[in-house]
Chains A and B, each alone.
Chain A
Amino acid sequence: MQFSFLSLLKNAQAGANRWTPQWPTVEPKAHYDVIIVGAGGHGLGAAYYLAKEYGLRNVAVLEKGWLGGGNTGRNTTIIRSNYLYDESVGLYDHAMDLWDGLSQELNYNVMYSKRGVLMLAHSVHDVQVLKRHVYANDRLGVDNTWLTPAEAKDYCPPLNISPTARYPILGGALQRKGGVARHDAVAWGFARAASARGVDIIQNCGVTAIRRNQQGHVTGVETERGFIAACKVAVSAAGNTSMIMDSAGIRLPLESFPLQALVSEPVKPVMPCVVMSNSVHAYISQSDKGELVIGAGTDQYISYSQRGAFHVIEKTLASICEIFPIFSRLRVLRTWAGTVDVTPDRSPIVGKTPVPGLYVNCGWGTGGFKATPGAAHVLAHTVACDAPHPINAPFHLDRFRTGRLIDEAAAAAVAH
């Protein structure tokens, strides 16, 4: 069914009871050309682009839990591309280009809102780091502007720019075309569009191991519902990627940490943009429902529990209340955590692996949502052509052997 104003109107008049499921529930087939492990935005998007741009329709996306129930549904939906290194800018800006027309392309409103992402500087060091980003981005034609404290206050009135504040604001880097999108709608939109092109989406079907033949080539995956054969397998399973890849004999430079987020009770529009403060780990925006969506830093230890410690949230909220005193009387509505897979250089790994027919998309750490369409697109290219797209070529696994890292960890100058 094509969504349009007319279809909305017709269904509203009919009592909204004519809507059909947006994708069918299917049983797994015995064999697929491509299996994608993990039905988050990245995996579903890759399936969509495989079907749309590369004509591969015998594709399945296998999901351990429910669609979009991992980090896709747990992040704080921030979209930006003002990274330091050329390689990162290439990748994230590619995603930015795709975000632009995504709602129209998928016929699904992903609610991409270019409200601007403002990154705050609280110290001379922060100022130097962020200005370096602005200059590097300017050289590549990427939108990123330096704001004085007064300009920052003008752009985001709730900010406390008093020079005596606990975290004084010395300026900020603003990416005006950055913003937010609705994370669930991204997963659902890609799922619906992929399914319409023949992709099977199979939930509650956890992959337990990857199978290889004597030549080492991938033959398929063992799942909770039995063996499923495939010519190619792409793993896009965030925090659980390293476990699945272990079964194919590949050890990854990944560690999985809890990353927490929370929302406040809903209030009327008060927060006009996204504000990030890397040095005090406070990330905040307001959803269209009115909740303030707040992200914290990672907990310190590795964990698969999808839970974090309360003192991490407490620290983030203390920072938020210092920077935005106006929010100090709001109450927390709910908190949750996701399991994020972090690489040593804080840049993702997207590409081929030493195993023929096995591909990986992982290591997105704390910031994978913004890259969803871009990562999905270059992963689809890599799988279909058995060669990386020029955009994801630098993000190969071998960089941890050669030492040619893309060190956004050092560039961000914070402990992620």
Chain B
Amino acid sequence: MLTILCPVCNISAPELEFVYAGQAHISRPGNPEELSDEDWRDYLFIRANTRGIHAERWRHTHGCARFFNVLRDTCSDLVLATYQIGHEPPLVTLGRD
């Protein structure tokens, strides 16, 4: 089970308090009427599925109920950093070979 630091409440809590909400930093297109089918496919369905450092959204369902972002190594499942919605991801290193 992951231990996640909620950047809003500033408390560390077990994964059970949180709900995963998919890849982070995907913005809804501002010009939907101009989008091609390819653009819609990419927005709706194509995901990074990163092997390594993955930026993802989580929600502190059983705490402040806010969404926030997490950087996590998808090979070790280590949470490397958490940061608020609207912020740029911090620079992190993997800390493994």
- Does A associate with B in a complex? yes
* Complex contact A309–B41 (CB within 8 A): no
Please state if A401 and B46 are interface contacts (CB–CB under 8 Å).
Answer: no
Which chain A residues lie closer than 8 Å to B44 at the CB level? 344, 400
Residues of B within 8 A of A310 (CB): 1
B49 is contacted by which of A256, A305, A401, A403 (Cβ under 8 Å)? A256
> Interface on A for B, CB 8 Å cutoff?
240, 242-243, 251-256, 300-305, 307, 309-311, 344, 400-403
- Contacts A254-B49, A301-B2, A311-B16 supplied; 9 other A-B pairs, CB < 8 Å: A253-B47, A301-B72, A302-B54, A302-B56, A305-B74, A305-B77, A344-B45, A401-B37, A403-B37
Please list the residues of chain B having a beta carbon within 8 angstroms of any beta carbon in chain A.
1-2, 15-16, 19-20, 37-38, 40-42, 44-47, 49-51, 54, 56, 72, 74-77
Which chain A residues border B45 with CB–CB below 8 Å? 253, 344, 400
A243 to B50, CA, bound (A): 8
Question: Which listed residue, B38, B40, B56, touches A301 by the CB 8 Å rule?
Answer: B56
Known: A300-B20, A302-B74. A251 touches B46 (CB 8 A): yes
A255 contacts across to B, CB distance below 8 A = 47, 49
Q: Given the known A-B contacts A310-B1, A400-B41, are A300 and B47 also in contact in the complex, defined by CB atoms under 8 Å?
A: no
B20, B44, B51: residue with the most chain A Cβ atoms closer than 10 Å: B51
* Chain B hits for A304, CB < 8 A: 51, 74-75
- Write the chain A residue with the least CB distance to B38: A401
Nearest chain A CB to B42 CB, angstrom units: 8
C-alpha gap A334/B34 in the complex (Å): 53
Q: Is the CB of A253 within 8 A of B46?
A: yes
Q: Please measure, in the bound complex, the distance between the C-alpha atom of A251 and the C-alpha atom of B41, giving whole angstroms.
A: 11
Closest 3 CB pairs of A and B: A253-B45, A300-B20, A309-B1
**Could you jot down 22 A-B contacts, CB within 8 Å?**
A240-B51, A253-B41, A253-B47, A254-B47, A255-B47, A256-B49, A300-B20, A301-B72, A302-B49, A302-B50, A302-B54, A304-B75, A305-B76, A307-B77, A309-B1, A309-B2, A311-B1, A344-B44, A400-B44, A400-B45, A401-B37, A401-B41
Cβ contacts under 8 Å, A307 to chain B = 77
Instruction: Point out the residues of chain A lying under 8 angstroms from B76, CB to CB.
Output: 305
Report how far A373 CA is from B51 CA in the complex, Å. 29
Given contacts A311-B15, A400-B41, A401-B41, contact A303 B74 (CB under 8 A): yes
- Measured between beta carbons, the chain B residues less than 8 angstroms from A251 are 42, 46
**Distance to closest chain B CB from A79 (angstroms):** 28
**Contact between A305 and B54, CB atoms less than 8 A apart:** no
What distance in Å separates the Cβ of A355 from its nearest Cβ neighbour in chain B?
16
CB-nearest residue of chain B to A243: B51
Most chain B CB within a 10 A radius of its CB, from A254, A311, A400: A400
Q: Shortest Cβ distance from A329 into chain B, in angstroms?
A: 25
How far does the alpha carbon of A310 sit from the alpha carbon of B54 in the complex, in Å? 22
| In contact, A309 and B54 (Cβ under 8 angstroms) | no
CB neighbours (8 Å) of B37 from chain A are 401-403
Task: Please state if B1 and A300 are interface contacts (CB–CB under 8 Å).
Answer: no
Q: In the bound complex, how far is the Cα of B49 from the Cα of A100, in angstroms?
A: 36
Instruction: Check A300–B54 contact: CB distance below 8 A.
Output: no
- Give the CA-CA distance A242 to B20 in the complex, in Å: 21
> Which residues of A lie under 8 Å from residue B74 when comparing CB positions?
256, 302-305
Residues of B within 8 A of A401 (CB): 37-38, 40-41
Provide the residues of chain B in CB contact with A309, threshold 8 Å: 1-2, 15
> How far in angstroms is the closest Cβ of chain A from B80?
13
How many angstroms from the CA of A255 to the CA of B47 in the assembled complex? 7
Q: Report chain B residues within 8 Å CB of A311.
A: 1, 15-16
Query: Measured between C-beta atoms, what is the minimum distance from A399 to chain B in Å?
Result: 9
Shortest CB-to-CB span from B55 to chain A, Å, is 11
Contacts of A301 in B (CB 8 A): 2, 20, 56, 72, 77
